[in-house]
Amino acid sequence: MCGIVGYTGPREAYPVIIKGLKRLEYRGYDSTGVALLNGGLKVYKKKGKVVELEEAIVGKDLHSHTGIGHTRWATHGEPSDRNAHPHSSASGKLAMIHNGIIENYTQLKKELSSKGYSFKSDTDTEVLLNFIEEIKKNNQCGLEEAVRVALKRVVGAYVILLLDQDDPGTIIAARKGSPLVIGIGKGEHFLGSDASPMLEYTKEVVYVNDYELAIVKPDELVLKNLGNEKITPYVQKLDIELAAIEKGGYDHFMLKEIFEQPQTIFDCLRGRLDIMGGTITMAGVQNHITQLKNANRIMIVACGTSWHAGLIAEYIIEELCRIPVEVEYASEFRYRNPVIHKGDVIIAVSQSGETADTLVAIEKAKDQGAIIFGVVNVVGSSIARLSDSGAYTHAGPEIGVASTKAFTAQLVVLTMIAMKIAYEKGTINQERFNHLLNELHEIPNKAEIVLKQNDAIKKLAEKYKDARDFLYLGRGYNFPVALEGALKLKEISYIHAEGYPAAEMKHGPIALVDESLPVVFVATRDSYHEKIVSNIQEIKARKGKVIAIITEGDETITDMADDTIAVPEADEIMAPMLSTIPLQLLAYYIGVAKNLDVDKPRNLAKSVTVE
């Protein structure tokens, strides 16, 4: 978490940095700060969002051609002005920003305190900065060398950017475990947690790897490893356009991204699904088809919304491929001692491709001989690069903190993977395969139809916005959709919500039901339909309010429920791609009705790069 930006070159650094920070606010917005080099070092920082800093420093001297900026998601130390980055070293000559966690900072702090250092903040960052300064002083070396020596002692994850007032024009950067992109311009360089701060200036970027150090000047980029050996930067071309990271007339990124889904699902299918030829082309799957179809077991590792996509994929893969699937929370998987056999296939699902828990979990599994297949949205991200093979979800940049379009794209990719394995393995016949191809092909149009319910869902949101709790229930493929609906509501509206398998309700949660509890049933027509109808009756008998997501024309549930939202008929395997959308809209409009910042909900960050 935390967003970092840097610039060195002929432009005014401050506007470039501020604009970049606004684009990176999805990574955290507890505080904002900039450090600018112009003769001396000027550091401005403040608790709150980027715009609050901007307003607070109007009229200050912001002139500079080299600077760094930070938007924080607090780990060590509460969100406050003094804990905001950049931090200044004891001498005041160095400034540093940091994304990550220094795990052995207490030990380093003790060492420094015994040498007379005192600290202005509660952060691990200030400790590391002074540790670097102490080495620089002791070893009488330059900043680059001091950083290299210091990082050999550091346990944890970091991207750091440093300025030294005695070396104007230079930014020293280093990375381990958190993302860092360097944009290459003509006589200028841009640094960012992702490429969004540099999109209008350059399309040429270098993704810095773990244990690499960058010495960045306007007209020179030197990359080294921690052993001081030079590395040739691998320059890649960006294919993101600026429009993709702007709101495009919508009130919020979240709404824009919900409405993009017909297109993003289409983009995800494009070039892969061939209805006429009756094929699915996915090079990443094809290259590992032998291992995939012969896998004794597939493990899906992910967090949050991506974990929900994994749960749906478990049902689909087991149904179509007859391969046992386990779905793991990456944060649990990485710390226990999981049994991994050589040749096990791990599918890592991640929008950002930077989630620390998922990244470390797959590193561990890879060391034990597992094949890692990445289903990732952000091209060139750490998980994508660590995977042996994979398939991108092609949903485009997702800026709203709550994941929406990335989720449906994950479902589409995971479904195609399952279909392809099943076809190659012979566990489904050509007729079923063709049927599923046609069904998938129809999903973008059907998603468009679901979005036409926008106004009706907005009204529902008004009706239910004051509820204290919500229950979300579903069966089969729609059970993880219930979990996802509850997660969206919690994140965006701060209303307590729980998702459950509908039949599990009678084993406890039914005690919560009274006339004030809205219960959202994800009840599209599928093989569990009669069962879920009974579950709805059980809730109605206890005076609960039922909101049901149903298949168009389902009179049975319409007659029973207080409110219904209908989605087009679809094969039950693909129903979640449609039934999720009304739940995203419901959460969004309840958040808006409560006047909350839906794109930046409290305490959250989009890319969770701490454990």
Residues contributing to the site for ligand F6R (CB under 6 A): 303-306, 350-352, 355, 358, 402-403, 487, 491, 608
In sequence order, the β-bridge partners of residue 99 are 159
Asked if 497 contacts 490 with a C-beta cutoff of 8 angstroms, the reply is yes
Nearest to ligand F6R of 484, 572 (CB atom): 484
* Dist CA 578 CA 587 (whole Å): 15
Q: How far is CA 527 from CA 207, 522, 573, 576, in A?
A: 47, 13, 11, 14
Shortest distance, position 509 Cβ to ligand F6R, whole Å? 22
Place of tokens 């049901």: 548
* Dist CA 283 CA 239 (whole Å): 20
Taking Cα atoms as reference points, which of 464, 463, 454, 435 lies closest to residue 581? 454
* Dist CA 395 CA 408 (whole Å): 9
Q: How far is CA 56 from CA 32, 51, 60, 66, in A?
A: 11, 9, 9, 21
Nearest to ligand F6R of 304, 582 (CB atom): 304
Shortest distance, position 355 Cβ to ligand F6R, whole Å? 3
Place of tokens 């403040």: 46
* Dist CA 352 CA 3 (whole Å): 13
* 581, containing H or E segment: helix 575-593
Shortest distance, position 488 Cβ to ligand F6R, whole Å? 6
Shortest distance, position 607 Cβ to ligand F6R, whole Å? 6
Q: How far is CA 329 from CA 75, 300, 317, 351, 488, in A?
A: 21, 9, 18, 15, 18
Shortest distance, position 558 Cβ to ligand F6R, whole Å? 30
Nearest to ligand F6R of 385, 531 (CB atom): 385
Asked if 223 contacts 50 with a C-beta cutoff of 8 angstroms, the reply is no
Shortest distance, position 139 Cβ to ligand F6R, whole Å? 39
Shortest distance, position 398 Cβ to ligand F6R, whole Å? 8
In the bound complex, which residue of the shown chain has the CB atom lying closest to ligand F6R? Answer: 304
* 125, containing H or E segment: helix 124-138
Phi then psi dihedrals of residue 142, to 5 deg: -80, 170
Annotated active-site positions, please? 2, 606
Amino acid at 368: Q
Nearest to ligand F6R of 262, 310 (CB atom): 310
Taking Cα atoms as reference points, which of 68, 79, 77 lies closest to residue 46? 79
Q: How far is CA 28 from CA 1, 165, 360, 508, 610, in A?
A: 6, 28, 21, 37, 12
In sequence order, the β-bridge partners of residue 3 are 71
Q: How far is CA 89 from CA 113, 120, 545, in A?
A: 14, 10, 58
Place of tokens 């509660």: 122
Asked if 402 contacts 386 with a C-beta cutoff of 8 angstroms, the reply is no
Phi then psi dihedrals of residue 279, to 5 deg: -135, 165
Nearest to ligand F6R of 350, 535 (CB atom): 350
Residues in the chain: 611
Shortest distance, position 609 Cβ to ligand F6R, whole Å? 10
3-state secondary structure of 213: strand
* Dist CA 409 CA 281 (whole Å): 16
Nearest to ligand F6R of 378, 523 (CB atom): 378
What does DSSP assign to residue 513? Answer: -
Shortest distance, position 408 Cβ to ligand F6R, whole Å? 12
